Amino acid sequence: MPQLISITNIKDIPSLSASFHFKEDYSAEINAIHSTKNSFNDSLSTLTLLFSLLDLTSLEGSDNNTKIERLCDKVLALDAVPDIPSIAAICVYSPFGKLVANKLKNTSIQTACVAGAFPSGQSPIEIKLQEIEWIIQQGVTEIDVVISRGKLIAGYYQEVFNEMIAIRSVAKNVTLKVIIESGELQTAKNIRIASDIAMYAGADFIKTSTGKIAEGATYPTVYIMLHAIKDFHKATGRKVGLKPAGGISTVEIARNYLILTEQILGRKWINNQLLRFGASQLANTILYQLATPLNNPQLINYFKNE
């Protein structure tokens, strides 16, 4: 569990200060970064890097043990394929946490479950805590929990902060990723405040989206979150990771997030301890593009039916 930053008054959180300046349009800054020379011009190395940063996700109402076990088996079978790195994690609903944890035992791949009344977050905190405690008992190593954005939008910042502190207290020995659902927060102010509250409450990662609403990760949202992480690291010395998720279906989009991360936070953030991508389609796209340079046709549509 990370050392919590002692906050006696949530107004000590930078974005809750009356003097904090919010800006809504970052398009010029983002365009400038994307046109800057970067480290991701080599196609093969960028593809394999992106694959190593994936939280491969299956979060459908139709999920069942057979489907999830097949997904795990396909992931594990890639160990025998030269030049394909392991993904970072497999992320599923809580009933499948124990199954995935058992399948991934003795591998470097983490078992992640969504929690906190995912995707809406609309549940009493007591129920959320019980859910998280139960999930951890299943052997899960990572929790992707949704923040109470309805309360945050209404301005109940102290209540949101208290909830996140309580969640961190029961999720002591797992990686905690906090989903802010930026597509519902909408404004730069809400996105920055949600990011700050999550980090000061002990989040290991801040994550853009559930993938369950129309708007997932966007460049402006990620830009705001990266600067929140940068400011938090400067103020506290603690590194927090970023997880863009939702709508990241092409390599070009994912590569642009790599560029933003490297330019704002530095190369030291480009690893799966500090950067993840929540995706389902992206894994298949990456493997499809790797099939030719690796002379391995079995990679084409590898996860098509998963």
Residue 213: inside a domain: yes
Q: Is residue 199 one of the residues assigned to a domain?
A: yes
2 inside domain: no
Please tell me the total count of domains within the chain: 1
Evaluate if residue 305 carries a pLDDT over 90: no
Q: Cα angle vertex 114, ends 10, 211, to 5°?
A: 90
pLDDT at 260 over 80: yes
User: What DSSP assignment string belongs to 164-201?
Assistant: HHHHHHH-TTSEEEEE--HHHH-SHHHHHHHHHHHHHT
For 194, the domain range is 27-299
Query: How many angstroms from the chain centroid is the CA of residue 52?
Result: 14
Q: Write the pLDDT tens digit of every residue in 56-68.
A: 999 999 999 999 9
Q: pLDDT digit string (tens) for 164-181?
A: 999 999 999 999 999 999
Contacts of 158 (CB under 8 A, 6+ apart): 10
From residue 180, give the alpha-carbon distance in Å to each of 105, 162, 195.
30, 15, 7
**Percentage above 90 pLDDT, the chain:** 91
Q: How confident is the model at residue 8 (pLDDT cuts 50, 70, 90)?
A: low
Q: The domain spanning residue 143 has which CATH number?
A: 3.20.20.70
Average pLDDT over residues 226-230: 98
Is residue 13 domain-resident? no
Neighbours of 127 (CB within 10 A): 11
- Is 262 among the domain residues? yes
- Residue 289 counted as domain residue: yes
CA–CA distance, 70 with 47 (Å, rounded to integer): 24
Q: Is residue 184 part of a domain?
A: yes
Calculate the alpha carbon distances from 92 to 26, 29, 59, 107, 305 in Å: 34, 35, 6, 17, 16
Each residue of 187-207: pLDDT tens digit? 999 999 999 999 999 999 999
Catalytic annotation, residues: 144, 207, 243
Check whether 272 has a pLDDT greater than 70. Answer: yes
